[in-house]
C-alpha cells in the first residue's frame, strides 16, 4: 500500500469513528470549518481548467444562479434552479454532438414534466442534489473512476471500505448523545429537510434528522472534504501562486469566523458559497458520469468479446461428448 493510500484509509476510518462518537458536532464543524477551505480551493482549481466549459462566461452565469438560489425560499423553485443548472452543464460538458445534446434535453424535459406533475419531486431533488447527491454519490463516482483508471486494487478496496462504512452506519447506527445542544439545533437548520426529502423519495414515512442520518451526513461530508485535501499531489490544486493560496486560506478563515460572529448572515453566506462551488462543479460531475458510463460499456464489451472467443473452443468438446454418449447408448 502506498503512503498516500494509507493516509486515505486512515482519514476515512477517522471520519467514521468521529461520526460515531460526536455526529452532531462533527457535521456542523466539518461544514463550517472544512467546507469553506474546500470551496475556495476547488473553485480556484476549476478556474484554471476553465470550469470544463466552452466559455468561462458561463461560469459567471452559474455563480449568479447559485447566489439567487441561496435566497429562494420556495423549495420547488430552488429545486428547479438546481436541476436546470445540472442539465445545462451536462449538455455543455458531457455531450459531443448536437444530436446528443438534443436527446439529453428531451429526456430532461420529460423528467422535469414528471417531477412537476408529482408536486414535491422538484423540491426533493433540490434538497438532495446539493447534499447527498453531490457529497456522497459524486464522491463515490470519482473514487470508482480513479480506481478504474489506475488499475489499483488498493483504491478499489478503498471504494469498498467507503460503501461498507455507509452501510454500517445505516444498519448499526451510533447511540451518541448530543454534547453541544446548540450544534444540534444549527444542524437541524442546515440539514433538517434531508430526512423528509428521503422519506418522500423512498416512500418511507417518518424519516427525520435523527442520530442515524446525522451520523451518515457527518461521515460523508467530512470524508468529502478530506478526500479533496489529500488529493493535492494527484490533481495539484495547490499548484497555484503563493499569493492566491494565502488569499484562499484567509478567505476560508474569514468565512468560518463570519459564521460564528453572526449566525444568520454566516448561514446565508456559507450556503451561497457552497452552492457556487456545487454549480461550478456540475460540468465536471457530468463529464465524470459520461466517463463512468463509457468505462462500464468498455468492460461489458470486453467481457462479451471474451465469451465469444471462448465459445468456439467449447463447441467441439461438446459435440465429441455427444458422439461418445451416442455410441454408449
Q: pLDDT (tens digit, 0 to 9) for every residue of the chain, 329 residues total?
A: 677 888 999 999 999 999 999 999 999 999 999 999 999 999 999 999 999 999 999 999 999 999 999 999 899 999 999 999 999 999 999 999 999 999 999 999 999 888 888 777 899 999 999 999 999 999 999 999 999 998 889 999 999 999 999 999 999 999 877 777 777 777 887 898 999 999 988 888 888 888 999 999 999 999 999 999 998 878 889 899 999 999 999 999 999 999 888 888 888 899 999 999 999 999 999 999 999 999 999 888 888 888 888 776 555 555 544 444 444 43
- Separation of alpha carbons 173 and 206, rounded Å: 17
- Size (the chain), residues: 329
Counting Cβ atoms within 10 Å, is residue 166 exposed (0-12), middle (13-18) or buried (19+)? middle
Using an 8 Å Cβ cutoff, are 128 and 273 in contact? Answer: no
CA dihedral 190, 191, 193, 197 (to 10 degrees): 150
Whether the model pTM is above 0.95: no
- Separation of alpha carbons 286 and 279, rounded Å: 11
Question: At CA 158, angle to CA 152 and CA 160, rounded to 5?
Answer: 110
Amino acid at each position: 500500500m502506498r503512503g498516500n493510500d494509507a493516509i486515505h484509509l486512515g482519514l476515512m476510518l477517522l471520519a467514521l469513528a468521529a461520526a460515531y462518537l460526536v455526529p452532531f458536532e462533527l457535521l456542523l464543524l466539518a461544514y463550517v470549518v472544512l467546507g469553506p477551505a474546500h470551496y475556495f480551493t476547488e473553485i480556484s482549481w476549476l478556474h484554471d481548467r476553465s470550469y470544463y466549459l466552452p466559455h468561462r462566461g458561463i461560469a459567471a452565469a452559474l455563480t449568479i444562479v447559485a447566489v439567487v438560489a441561496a435566497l429562494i425560499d420556495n423549495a420547488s423553485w430552488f429545486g428547479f434552479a438546481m436541476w436546470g443548472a445540472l442539465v445545462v452543464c451536462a449538455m455543455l460538458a458531457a455531450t459531443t454532438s448536437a444530436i446528443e445534446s438534443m436527446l439529453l434535453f428531451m429526456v430532461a424535459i420529460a423528467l422535469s414534466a414528471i417531477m412537476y406533475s408529482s408536486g414535491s419531486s422538484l423540491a426533493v431533488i433540490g434538497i438532495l442534489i446539493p447534499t447527498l447527491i453531490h457529497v456522497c454519490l459524486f464522491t463515490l463516482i470519482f473514487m470508482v473512476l480513479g480506481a478504474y483508471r489506475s488499475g489499483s486494487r488498493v483504491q478499489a478496496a478503498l471504494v469498498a471500505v467507503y460503501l461498507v462504512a455507509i452501510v454500517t452506519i445505516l444498519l448499526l447506527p451510533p447511540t451518541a448523545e448530543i454534547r453541544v445542544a446548540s450544534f444540534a439545533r444549527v444542524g437541524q437548520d442546515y440539514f433538517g429537510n434531508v430526512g423528509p426529502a428521503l422519506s418522500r423519495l423512498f416512500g418511507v414515512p417518518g424519516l427525520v434528522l435523527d442520530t442515524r442520518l446525522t451520523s451518515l451526513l457527518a461521515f460523508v461530508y467530512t470524508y468529502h472534504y478530506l478526500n479533496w485535501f489529500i488529493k493535492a499531489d494527484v490533481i495539484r490544486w495547490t499548484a497555484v501562486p503563493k499569493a492566491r493560496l494565502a488569499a484562499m486560506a484567509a478567505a476560508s478563515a474569514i468565512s468560518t469566523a463570519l459564521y460564528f460572529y453572526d449566525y444568520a448572515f454566516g448561514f446565508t453566506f456559507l450556503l451561497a458559497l457552497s452552492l457556487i462551488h456545487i454549480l461550478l462543479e456540475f460540468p465536471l460531475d457530468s463529464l465524470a458520469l459520461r466517463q463512468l458510463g463509457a468505462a462500464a460499456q468498455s468492460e461489458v464489451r470486453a467481457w462479451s468479446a471474451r465469451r465469444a472467443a471462448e465459445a468456439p473452443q467449447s463447441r467441439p468438446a461438446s459435440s465429441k461428448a455427444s458422439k461418445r454418449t451416442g455410441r454408449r447408448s
